[in-house]
């Protein structure tokens, strides 16, 4: 969930300049609901569904009866189980007896990898529509220059675009009427033609020990998403969701249980950051000890009560619900928006995008040449084990995934992060550490070992501290830099998708 960014191999100001230049030049005009010409949130051919489906419009509300069912979609099934073996006595905490799960993946009907059919297309997302039935503009996912083009098409001067951008990302409100710096006529047009700006807060839960705050939001079409705020010594990091649900099917992850509903738009991702920034800036919230516990209670918190920079989100990880590389256009649009100094102002090196291993998406992200950190959710040192934990491995096995990782490093000169969820006696044995060491020996990378955040109903348990330490020592001894990630938000179900699951199904699972 939390993501420790890897260090870059070089200071990559060049890539940033290139990205800025690209940003200035991209996009052609499209017609919106009101008839204005606007620079669109682009949809590059082939990039909408790197998993194999055709390019789709990103984000949005399924419209009318024609919307396709948002069934959970999975990589074609194979009977694989991480089968429990002999009972192994009670839990240390006295809970129900634990069974010995091990790495012996039971296989049957194993398909030949290369003959797998492509992933089905993503559910179509057409975006919210206005009273006139036309699509609303995703203004919160647009750059100042794009907003400038929008407002000039309405006859307003371009600088109003920048004013609007600042209001959206540093102020914002339920209604454009609150944007009092803008003329009344412009506010009226925005109210009629722009997508809703803020979410409804359904629930906000704070971990009393480490200060992690988990937000459950309701979107304009009633879907719910989670965003997490984490506090570190150096400031606040937010964990952003990129899709409603997920179709990757990882065995240990709650986000995937209900399948994928739809992609999020760039604006819906940007609003997650803006909403948390509003919360952090609200003096009443800051005085609430439930939301902002005293630093003394938090071993990871800053020493001083309110050091500089603790009034806003300064880093982000796209590690919430969803597979960001499946929604890459919108994710890139979002990252460019929150990078803007006039908005959230988050530096590229303070951003991490995490993938379960979507190879075409990794190549597409590399092509964007942004100096952010790519995190790859590895979780296993061999195909047999990874097939059972991350079913996407059936489509993109380790050799292909690591080849894409190498291409990414060559192109961006950025060191990778690998995430490895530590699951008791499934993937945490000494032979796994040795095998992982051999696999990553020559890769410029950093491995984050993450104790499993248990998901109800899944018979997987976090590795005990001794196993994690043994694994870390063996991997480090093999020359692979690795750290054990601090586990945040345990008491508030902060692992991907858990709060949303609980809200959907409050009964014990």
Active-site residue list: 226, 496
Please say whether the beta carbons of 321 and 244 come within 8 A. yes
- From residue 110 to residue 149, what is the string marking binding to ligand SAH with x (rule CB under 6 A)? ----------------------------------------
From the list 107-115, 308-316, 351-359, 393-401, the region that binds ligand SAH by CB under 6 A is 351-359
CB of 354 to ligand SAH, least distance (A): 4
Select 38 or 375, whichever has its Cβ closest to ligand SAH. Answer: 375
Q: Tell me: does residue 38 bind ligand SAH (CB under 6 A).
A: no
DSSP strand pairing (351-355 vs 373-377): parallel
- From residue 313 to residue 342, what is the string marking binding to ligand SAH with x (rule CB under 6 A)? ------x---x-------------------
Select 149 or 269, whichever has its Cβ closest to ligand SAH. Answer: 269
Cα 121 to Cα 123: distance, rounded to the nearest angstrom: 6
CB of 252 to ligand SAH, least distance (A): 5
Which residues on adjacent β-strands are paired with residue 216? 203, 226
Select 236 or 420, whichever has its Cβ closest to ligand SAH. Answer: 420
Give the tokens for residue 81.
């189980």
Cα 8 to Cα 489: distance, rounded to the nearest angstrom: 28
Cα 46 to Cα 503: distance, rounded to the nearest angstrom: 35
Please say whether the beta carbons of 321 and 247 come within 8 A. no
- From residue 442 to residue 481, what is the string marking binding to ligand SAH with x (rule CB under 6 A)? --------x-xx-x--------------------------
CA 298 from chain centre, in angstroms, equals: 25
CB of 57 to ligand SAH, least distance (A): 21
Cα 34 to Cα 27: distance, rounded to the nearest angstrom: 19
Give the tokens for residue 102.
């091990």
Cα 145 to Cα 164: distance, rounded to the nearest angstrom: 11
**How many other CB atoms are found less than 10 A from the CB of residue 364?**
18
Select 207 or 323, whichever has its Cβ closest to ligand SAH. Answer: 323
- From residue 407 to residue 446, what is the string marking binding to ligand SAH with x (rule CB under 6 A)? ------------x-x-------------------------
From the list 128-136, 145-153, 264-272, 353-361, the region that binds ligand SAH by CB under 6 A is 353-361
CB of 242 to ligand SAH, least distance (A): 7
Where would I find the beta strands (DSSP E) of 264-372? 313-318, 351-355
Cα 46 to Cα 69: distance, rounded to the nearest angstrom: 22
Count of residues near ligand SAH by CB under 6 A:
19
Cα 381 to Cα 284: distance, rounded to the nearest angstrom: 48
Select 182 or 240, whichever has its Cβ closest to ligand SAH. Answer: 240
The one among 182, 219, 253, 330 contacting ligand SAH by CB under 6 A: 253
For the residues of 278-343, what is the DSSP string, one character each?
Answer: HHHH-HHHHT-TTTS--GGG-TTS-SSSS-TTTTSEEEEEE-SSS-GGGGHHHHHHHHHHHH-TTT
Which residues on adjacent β-strands are paired with residue 87? 99
Where would I find the beta strands (DSSP E) of 35-90? 37-38, 79-87
From the list 53-61, 165-173, 247-255, 329-337, the region that binds ligand SAH by CB under 6 A is 247-255
CB of 490 to ligand SAH, least distance (A): 10
Q: Tell me: does residue 495 bind ligand SAH (CB under 6 A).
A: yes
The one among 385, 496, 499, 501 contacting ligand SAH by CB under 6 A: 496
Cα 326 to Cα 48: distance, rounded to the nearest angstrom: 7
Cα 128 to Cα 62: distance, rounded to the nearest angstrom: 8
Select 139 or 496, whichever has its Cβ closest to ligand SAH. Answer: 496
Cα 13 to Cα 5: distance, rounded to the nearest angstrom: 17
CB of 375 to ligand SAH, least distance (A): 6
Give the residue from 261, 193, 171, 190 showing the smallest Cα distance to 221. 261
CB of 496 to ligand SAH, least distance (A): 4
- From residue 355 to residue 394, what is the string marking binding to ligand SAH with x (rule CB under 6 A)? xx--------------------x-----------------
Q: To which H or E segment does residue 93 belong?
A: none
CB of 153 to ligand SAH, least distance (A): 36
Where would I find the beta strands (DSSP E) of 364-452? 373-377, 416-422, 445-451
Binding positions for ligand SAH, rule: CB under 6 A: 1, 248, 250, 252-253, 319, 323, 354-356, 377, 419, 421, 450, 452-453, 455, 495-496
């Amino acid at each position: 969930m939390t993501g420790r960014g890897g260090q870059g191999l070089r200071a990559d100001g060049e890539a940033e300049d290139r990205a800025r230049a690209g940003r200035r030049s991209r996009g052609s005009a499209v017609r919106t609901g009101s008839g204005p010409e606007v620079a669109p949130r682009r949809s590059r051919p082939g990039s909408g569904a790197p998993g194999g489906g055709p390019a789709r419009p990103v984000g949005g509300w399924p419209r009318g009866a024609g919307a396709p069912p948002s069934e959970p979609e999975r990589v074609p099934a194979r009977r694989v189980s991480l089968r429990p073996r002999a009972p192994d006595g009670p839990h240390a905490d006295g809970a129900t007896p634990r069974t010995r799960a091990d790495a012996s993946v039971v296989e049957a009907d194993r398909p030949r990898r290369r003959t797998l059919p492509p992933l089905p297309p993503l559910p179509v997302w057409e975006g919210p529509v206005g009273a006139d039935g036309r699509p609303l503009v995703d203004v919160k996912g647009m750059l100042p220059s794009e907003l400038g083009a929008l407002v000039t098409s309405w006859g307003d001067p371009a600088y109003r675009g920048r004013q609007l951008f600042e209001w959206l990302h540093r102020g914002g409100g339920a209604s454009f009427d609150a944007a009092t710096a803008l003329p009344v006529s412009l506010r009226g047009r925005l109210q009629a033609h722009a997508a809703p700006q803020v979410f409804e807060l359904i629930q906000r839960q704070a971990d009393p020990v480490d200060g992690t705050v988990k937000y459950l939001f309701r979107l304009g079409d009633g879907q719910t998403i989670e965003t997490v705020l984490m506090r570190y010594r150096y400031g606040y990091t937010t964990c952003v969701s990129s899709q409603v649900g997920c179709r990757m099917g990882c065995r240990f992850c709650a986000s995937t249980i209900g399948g994928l509903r739809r992609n999020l738009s760039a604006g819906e991702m940007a609003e997650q950051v803006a909403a948390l920034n509003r919360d952090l800036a609200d003096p009443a919230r800051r005085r609430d000890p439930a939301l902002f516990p005293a630093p003394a209670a938090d071993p990871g918190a800053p020493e001083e009560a309110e050091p500089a920079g603790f009034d806003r989100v300064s880093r982000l990880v796209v590690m919430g619900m969803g597979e960001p590389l499946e929604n890459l256009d919108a994710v890139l649009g979002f990252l460019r928006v929150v990078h803007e100094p006039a908005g959230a102002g988050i530096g590229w090196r303070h951003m991490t995008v995490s993938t379960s291993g979507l190879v075409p998406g990794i190549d597409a992200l590399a092509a964007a040449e942004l100096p952010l950190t790519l995190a790859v959710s590895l979780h296993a040192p061999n195909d047999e084990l990874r097939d059972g934990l991350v079913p996407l491995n059936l489509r993109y096995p380790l050799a292909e995934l690591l080849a894409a990782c190498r291409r990414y490093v060559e192109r961006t000169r950025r060191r990778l992060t690998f995430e490895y969820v530590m699951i008791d006696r499934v993937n945490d044995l000494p032979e796994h550490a040795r095998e992982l060491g051999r696999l990553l020996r020559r890769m410029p990378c950093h491995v984050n070992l993450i104790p499993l955040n248990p998901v109800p109903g899944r018979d997987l348990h976090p590795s005990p501290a001794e196993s994690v330490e043994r694994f870390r020592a063996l991997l480090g001894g093999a020359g692979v830099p690795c750290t054990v990630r601090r586990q945040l938000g345990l008491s508030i179900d902060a692992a991907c998708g858990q709060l949303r699951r609980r809200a959907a199904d409050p009964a014990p699972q």
